[in-house]
Structure 1
Amino acid sequence: MDGLRRLADAVLLPGFVGTSAPDWVRRRVADGLGGVLLFGRNVVDDEQVGALTAQLRAERPELVVAIDEESGDVTRLDAARGSALPGPHALGAIGDLALTREVGAALGARLAACGVTLDLAPCADLTLAAEDPIIGVRAFGSEPVAAAGQVAAFIAGIQESGVAACAKHFPGHGASTADSHRELPVLDRTEEQLRTVELVPFQAAIAAGVRSVMTGHLVIPGWGESPATLNRYAITEVLRGELGFTGAVVTDALEMNAVSGTAGISDGAVQALRAGADLLCIGGELADAEVVDRLAEAIVAAVHSGRLSEERLTEAATLAASLGGPVTGGPVADSDLGLRAARRAIEVRGNLKLAGPPLVVDLEVDPSIAVGAVPWGLGPHLSELLPGTRVLRRGPDGKKEILDSVNGSPVVVVTRDAHRHSEVRRLVVELVSIGLDLVHVETGVPGPDLGSVARIDTHGSAFVCLRAAAELLADHTAREDRR
């Protein structure tokens, strides 16, 4: 393989399918592929992930092994069960920077033990738009300075173990009402708003020594027509020049429709490198040998044509390699840390008291693409802790079945970002108006009061957040064995 093709391979970060490395991945890693990106589809348990990364590193020890492990709702290591650590919004609700750093350190130690070198976390986005379909509880909150402190603490914790953190999605996705997986968001934000709001957590991340920053596929009209990922002004002038970032710039996945549906994946890869990006994510199902070859060939052709300089490509490959391994690791935290933190994040409004084991109604809505099919619902947790609990999993059109199932029981209605789903809000209000003894548990970003007798906000849907809410409900339920 010639040197130019090797440089092109060195800036690519593809995903793959399977719990062991396919032959094409192993061959390309040996030939200089920059790294691989792991998803839930690649995970059975920590031991298997460690074996997988060892298999890959046997081909080339300095390989970048990346994963989207944010803790909370977005988890890959715990995709089959739900995260053992609360997510950013829960940590932001607690407001304890020492705890946030401890959670970050626990996550970093676990990733290091699994052989991961780059964690595509944390989100330095803010929860700014109620209609935002993609960030929500993935952010530490909406107040820039408070969130900035949380971002810095989480990064410091992760990087204690030698794992590189990645602040995302520059310049900030939280004010968007569109999902860049599906379309190209345009943010109507002024320069003053960006510098006093969105960019504050990124400044804190850089000051904390974050080793990488991920660009968002977001258009800022004042910066030009191209999204930040393909925008030289965004990356080179603002992120590097103004904010002083010197680490590796990682793109969000190029197959997301905000890029693939506009510039196209191959031309998007070239544009991103020209703009100043260093490592190109192509993590979806389409990441296979053919796609990797096509992108590498497009990059080589761009150098031959003079559209992309070999100097820029060499710089990108060098910065991408800085996120490789091996990692040193560190002590793994006690297993109760996540649940203890989740308990502290819970907020209760109203008089929380159930007359007996309830009917739990888990109102299902489609999760975001970033979250994926991670188990959700309070019912299984409370059923385990409180015998006699009955569970319904229904969409917001299940009013009749819910009423037919009450039979005089208290009702616990569980929602996920009810403020974003009018049909969910309408159903909860209707159930309350009937006069049911109803507790509302919100597992997303807390929204408006819907009139329930009591309200619990968990600030996330992690396994431990749902478990903590179930514990609280069980402790506030009258039972025969307590009389």
Structure 2
Amino acid sequence: MDRLSTLVNSCLLPAYGGAAPTDWLRRELDDGLAGIVLFGANLGLLDGRVREVVTEPLRAHRPDLIVALDEEGGDITRVEYHRGSNYPGNLALGVVDDPALTSQVAGAIAADLIDAGVSLNLAPSVEVCPGYDMPVFGARSFSSDPARVAAHTRAFVEGLQRHGVAATAKHFPGLGATRVDSHFELPVVDTPASEFRSRDLYPFTAAVEAGVQAVMTGHVVVGAIDDTPATFSPRFVTDLLRGELGFDGVVISDSLDMRSAQAGLGFGGAAVRAWLAGVDLMIIGPQDGEGICAEIRDSARRAVAEGVLPLSRLEEAAERVARLRKWTSSPARPTGDLGGIGLAAARRAVEVRGTLPAPSARFVVELRPEPNISCGTVPWGLAEPMARLGALAGALTVAPGTAAADLDLPAGVPLAVVVRAETADAWQTGVLTALLAGRPDAVLVDMGFRDLPAPAGTVVLKTFGAGLVNAMAAAELLSGRRAAGAPRDRW
């Protein structure tokens, strides 16, 4: 492969199809490919066997490749995609508001990633989420308070990176104040420049000051600064992030498969636009990347030949990525036992609203809305944690569209009703209202960002996240029993 193609490869992070890496990926690694990103489409087939199936074979082939995934904890997990996260997630950590605890949780996540052979964590999300009317990030945000988000951002970055796992502050310059998902539409932040700087930009400043190794751009327009989406905006990437904030690490694009990224130009056109803006490393998306990498190389070749894309811009990007590969090449696993820190944090985050009834076995009713695309199909809910504690009297999973009148609930058995909502969900709200009207003795376990309405007097357990440990912390309160260890050691 010629030098230009190798340069382009060194600035790409594709995915592959299936569970085990395919032959084309090994060939591309021989030709300079930076590494890979693992998505739910891969991890759902691996059942937790990331090291055995993916990273050990690939590192035997190319020791310094980047292996990246999203491990935020709580609702967004990849290493534990098969069972749910052993860490409570950003919102729960923000509720506890103990940066030292957040740092410990990040250290435990680093240990898991090192064990899995992962070198780049596409986390934390450092969005400030102003309120329920802007629910795109919801439980993925530490807080609506910029200072609190900044403090926990710093703690997470430092806790992860002290062990040689690179952190990624995302999604620059902030998606918290958006109302549409950038997977499907181009979001717009319509706030004055002064508010944007004091709210959305503040946590990114903290991340840079903490030495974060990577920053991921968001496909978002902040009209007060530029009318071009940030991933493709020199004003954002080169002037603001590099110039004003002084960031000299790797700038990573959010996935280029999103509708908000391609603007009719395809993967190749989007990648060239992002390189021109100052982005270094392109995430392609969850599709098998063989053909997409070829498309991007062709587009880059044309852009260089036509004088649109300076070769020096690719060389600069490749040099930064090489530095990141070197930085992540010698991770140091934390010493000591951090296995229980996630459950301890989740216990501290649970809020009890009302007077909790006496511990007992309960029949669990789970109202399950359609999964968020970022969360994927990670298992969640209360039934299995209650069963593991010997306190499950039965369970019913309720699919979207089911009417309250169709629920077959046992009489005389205490109920726990489980909900999870980022936005106002008319179906879930309607079923919950009817169910609680008929069973005012039920305990409501709310695992989402948005508080769903409940009649006065309803006892509510608010977990501020739907990770496995969030559910276990609620199950302990309902059952009066304590888990013997970290849930992953008992499952």
Q: Which runs of 4+ in 1 moved over 6 A?
A: none
Match of 1:369 in 2: 373
Secondary structure in structure 2 of the residue aligned to 1:284: strand
Kindly indicate whether the alpha-carbon contact (under 8 Å) linking 1:418 and 1:424 is maintained by their aligned counterparts in 2. no
Secondary structure in structure 1 of the residue aligned to 2:237: helix
Deviations 1:31-78 (A, max 9, x none): 101111112343436654255223222333322111111111111111
CA distance in 1, matches of 2:359, 2:316: 65
Shift of 1:355: 7.8
- Paired residue type of 1:330: R
Deviations 1:346-396 (A, max 9, x none): 111101105853321100001211100001111222233244522111035
Kindly indicate whether the alpha-carbon contact (under 8 Å) linking 1:122 and 1:168 is maintained by their aligned counterparts in 2. yes
CA distance in 2, matches of 1:359, 1:293: 54
Kindly indicate whether the alpha-carbon contact (under 8 Å) linking 2:123 and 2:170 is maintained by their aligned counterparts in 1. yes
Match of 1:455 in 2: 460
CA distance in 2, matches of 1:345, 1:2: 54
Shift of 1:445: 1.2
> CA 1:48/1:264 → structure 2, altered by over 3 Å: closer, same or farther?
closer
Match of 1:421 in 2: 425
Match of 1:149 in 2: 151
Secondary structure in structure 2 of the residue aligned to 1:327: coil
Consecutive unaligned residues of structure 2, counting only runs of 5 or more, are: 482-491
CA distance in 2, matches of 1:419, 1:291: 34
Comparing 320-329 with 177-186, greater Cα deviation is found at 320-329
The percent of aligned pairs where both chains have the same amino acid is 40
Kindly indicate whether the alpha-carbon contact (under 8 Å) linking 2:40 and 2:376 is maintained by their aligned counterparts in 1. no
Match of 1:480 in 2: none
Match of 1:32 in 2: 32
Match of 2:416 in 1: 412
Comparing 389-398 with 70-79, greater Cα deviation is found at 389-398
Deviations 1:191-232 (A, max 9, x none): 111111011111111111101000000011233332111111
- Paired residue type of 1:101: S
- What is the Cα-based RMSD across aligned positions, in Å? 1.9
Kindly indicate whether the alpha-carbon contact (under 8 Å) linking 2:48 and 2:80 is maintained by their aligned counterparts in 1. no
Q: How does 1:92-111 map to 2 (within 5 A)?
A: 92-111=94-113
**How many residues in Structure 1 have an aligned counterpart in Structure 2?**
474
Alignment match of 1:278 (pick from 277, 280, 283) = 280
Alignment match of 1:431 (pick from 435, 439, 443) = 435
Match of 2:64 in 1: 62
- Paired residue type of 2:188: V
Match of 1:401 in 2: 406
Match of 2:176 in 1: 174
Match of 2:316 in 1: 315
Alignment match of 1:468 (pick from 473, 477, 484) = 473
Kindly indicate whether the alpha-carbon contact (under 8 Å) linking 2:190 and 2:222 is maintained by their aligned counterparts in 1. yes
Deviations 1:245-299 (A, max 9, x none): 11110000000111135443211110000000000001212x3211111111111
Comparing 30-39 with 217-226, greater Cα deviation is found at 217-226
CA distance in 2, matches of 1:104, 1:356: 34
Kindly indicate whether the alpha-carbon contact (under 8 Å) linking 2:363 and 2:395 is maintained by their aligned counterparts in 1. yes
Shift of 1:165: 0.2
Q: How does 1:299-314 map to 2 (within 5 A)?
A: 299-314=300-315
User: Aligned pair 1:42/2:51, yes or no?
Assistant: no
User: Aligned pair 1:390/2:391, yes or no?
Assistant: no
Match of 2:487 in 1: none
Kindly indicate whether the alpha-carbon contact (under 8 Å) linking 2:417 and 2:445 is maintained by their aligned counterparts in 1. yes
Kindly indicate whether the alpha-carbon contact (under 8 Å) linking 1:24 and 1:289 is maintained by their aligned counterparts in 2. yes
TM-score, with length taken from structure 1: 0.93
Consecutive unaligned residues of structure 1, counting only runs of 5 or more, are: 477-483
CA distance in 2, matches of 1:49, 1:447: 38
Secondary structure in structure 1 of the residue aligned to 2:409: helix
Alignment match of 1:236 (pick from 230, 238, 248) = 238
TM-score, with length taken from structure 2: 0.92
CA distance in 1, matches of 2:425, 2:322: 43
Kindly indicate whether the alpha-carbon contact (under 8 Å) linking 1:356 and 1:409 is maintained by their aligned counterparts in 2. no
Match of 1:291 in 2: 292
- Paired residue type of 2:12: L
Shift of 1:448: 5.5
Match of 2:489 in 1: none
CA distance in 2, matches of 1:250, 1:418: 27
CA distance in 2, matches of 1:233, 1:196: 18
Kindly indicate whether the alpha-carbon contact (under 8 Å) linking 1:411 and 1:436 is maintained by their aligned counterparts in 2. no
> CA 1:360/1:354 → structure 2, altered by over 3 Å: closer, same or farther?
farther
Q: How does 1:157-306 map to 2 (within 5 A)?
A: 157-285=159-287, 287-306=288-307
